[in-house]
Every structure is written in structure tokens, then in C-alpha cells.
A and B are shown apart, each in its own frame.
Chain A
């Protein structure tokens, strides 16, 4: 299988090997990946909870989004970069890991879920800013987001338990 061979090659490049064998750099990158959850997923939770009218109901939805997103986007960038580095360092081992595959799948679905919200609900968001009822579709994307991120986190953790 070509992809497995590519991953094997990637994992054995001097860069990847150096990363894997580094005493401090690898732990720093992995630690950053985990702790940056707070500035990515942790911030998105605010938005999801607002859409589900579970928190910050006094704040207009569009305001919550515009205030939080500028901080969440760099957070996701950190997650992506650290995640990529972690992948490169262990490419073959991780590519063949079942939990990792599902994690990536769910990440892609989460991305599409966010895109769907952007296209379908974002343009009209201000209309239900302080409305007592939020469109069912918007609420659904929020619920899906919460479930997906919980699953992604759990899958990431469980990756280590498949030798």
C-alpha cells in the first residue's frame, strides 16, 4: 500500500527521527497539542452553548461569535501545527492506528459541520441574535459540534492504547 510506505519513509526522515528522540521537544509539542485544546475547543464550547441557549443568553449570538472566533482560530492553528508535527514523528505507527483514523474522520466531519453553519446560518445570524428561539438547524450544528469534539478528544487519548 503506497500510503503506508510513504508514512514509513516520512517517519524515518532525520527530522522525524530527531523529533521522536528529543528529550524535551517531543514532550513540548505533545503538551502544547493537549493544552491548546483550551484555546480552541474550549472557546468553541462558548459558541455551541450559546446556540443551544445553555449559557450567555443575554448576549447576542453574533456578538459572542465575533468576540470569540478571533481567539479560537489561532488556537486551532496551534492544534493543527502541533498535530502535524506529531503525525510526522510517528507517521507509520499512527497511520495504521484505528483510533487515529476515526479521529481524522471526525475532524473532517467537524470541519464540514462548521462550514455548513458558516454557509447556512452565519449570513442570517443577526436576525435571531436575541430571539428566544434559535433555528433548529443551527442548534443541531452546535450539538453535533460538542459531541464530535468530545469524541475527537477521547479518540486522541485512546490512540495510545493500541500497540
Chain B
């Protein structure tokens, strides 16, 4: 399995399209900037939604509107982050794949996304959403912890390896 992956990484590293990416002057920092835009939208949206869900803040804004519209931005942000993230990975796959922080980030990303599209989605659309309750607080805290952990793991790639 390891050999197959190494071969795959080398194919990606050597590919002509990826070479264009690597050699275009500001391609990589631009892609990384989009990754940051996506993260800002995603995490910002999650902060707003969770403040409202737990009843801890933004109480005068409609849970319904936030639940529908801010949810959309967060998902949009996630998609932008994932698309740009793939473009960051593809020119240097072996280096990222060997990085423990990167692997941790991917695991956390799966966990966060899974939680987001199952339990969380149901929670924000439920009758009790927006009222202070133990359930809402738990869901809100878990959501923020998961997504910000993905963020920190991403930062750890360059600093912890």
C-alpha cells in the first residue's frame, strides 16, 4: 500500500499540469490565499451559527435565517478550502503525506465534516435550536472544537511536522 501511494505521489509531483502550477509566479500563494478565504468563511460561519444555536449570542437574529443562510456560507467555505487544499497538496504530495500534522488534520476534517452533516445539521433545524440547553451547548462546543482543531492542525504542518 505504501509503495502504491509513493508511486502515486511521484506521478502527481512529476505531472505537467502540476509543474505549471509550481512554476507560475504567484499560483501557490494565491491558492493558499483562497484556502484562507474558505477557512474564514467556514470558521466565521461556524462561530455565528454556534453562538446562535447555544443561545449564547446573537439572540435577536432569527435562528431560522442563520440556520439556512449562514449554513450555506460555511459549506461554501468548506468547499473552497477543500478545493484549494487539494491544489496545495498535489504539487508536493510525498512531503505532506509524511507530515504527522497533515495526517491528523485529515482525520479531524473527516470527523468534523461527518458531525457537521449529520448531528449538527439536525440540531440547528430542530425545534429547540437557539434556546439555552445542555444539548445545544454540547453540540455547539463540539462543532467549534472540531473545526478549530482542523485549523490548528493545519498550522502545525509548518511548525510541528
Q: Show the binding face of A for B, using Cβ within 8 Å.
A: 26-27, 30-31, 34-35, 37-39, 41-43, 45-46, 55-56, 58-59, 63-64, 66-68, 71, 150, 153-154, 157-158, 160-161
Known: A27-B159, A158-B26. A41 touches B40 (CB 8 A): yes
CB distance from A39 to the nearest CB of B (A): 6
Chain A residues within an 8 Å CB radius of B37 = 150, 153
**What mask results when residues 43 to 67 of chain B are scored 1 for a CB within 8 Å of chain A, else 0?**
1111110010000011111100110
A43 adjacent to B48 (CB under 8 Å): yes
- Classify the interface of chain B: helix, strand, loop or mixed: helix
Q: Nearest-CB distance from A106 to chain B (Å)?
A: 13
Q: A45 vs B155: C-alpha distance in the bound complex, in angstroms?
A: 23
Contact B58 A67 (CB under 8 A): yes
Asked if A42 meets B32 with Cβ closer than 8 Å, knowing A27-B159, A34-B155, A63-B60, the reply is: no
Number of chain B residues whose Cβ lies closer than 8 Å to a Cβ of chain A: 37
Complex Cα spacing A39 to B40, Å:
8
A39 touches B33 (CB 8 A): no
11 contacts between A and B (CB under 8 A): A26-B159, A30-B155, A34-B39, A38-B39, A38-B40, A41-B44, A45-B73, A56-B69, A58-B62, A71-B57, A158-B29
A161 & B58 in contact (Cβ 8 Å cutoff): no
12 extra A-B contacts, CB within 8 A, seeds A42-B45, A58-B62, A71-B58: A31-B159, A34-B39, A38-B40, A38-B43, A38-B47, A39-B47, A43-B47, A59-B62, A153-B40, A154-B33, A161-B28, A161-B29
Most buried by B among A26, A38, A64, A154: A38
B151 interface residue, CB < 8 Å from A?
A: yes
Interfacial chain B residues near A35, Cβ < 8 Å:
43, 148, 151-152, 155
- The yes or no answer to B5 lying at the interface (CB within 8 A) is no
What is the chain B residue whose CB lies nearest that of A30? Answer: B155
Q: Which residues of A contact B45 (CB under 8 A)?
A: 42
Which A residues are in CB contact (< 8 Å) with B33? 150, 153-154, 157-158
Q: Which residues of A sit under 8 angstroms from B109, Cβ to Cβ?
A: none
CB B52 to nearest CB in A, in angstroms, measures 9
Q: Does B79 contact A (CB under 8 A)?
A: no
Q: Which residues of B have CB within 8 Å of A58?
A: 62, 65
Chain A residues with Cβ under 8 A from B58's Cβ? Answer: 67-68, 71
A43 and B43 alpha carbons, distance in the complex (Å): 10
Q: Is B124 an interface residue (CB 8 A)?
A: no
Contacts of A64 in B (CB 8 A): 61
A31 and B62 contacting across the interface, CB-CB below 8 Å: no
Chain A residues near B61: list those with CB within 8 A: 56, 59, 63-64, 67
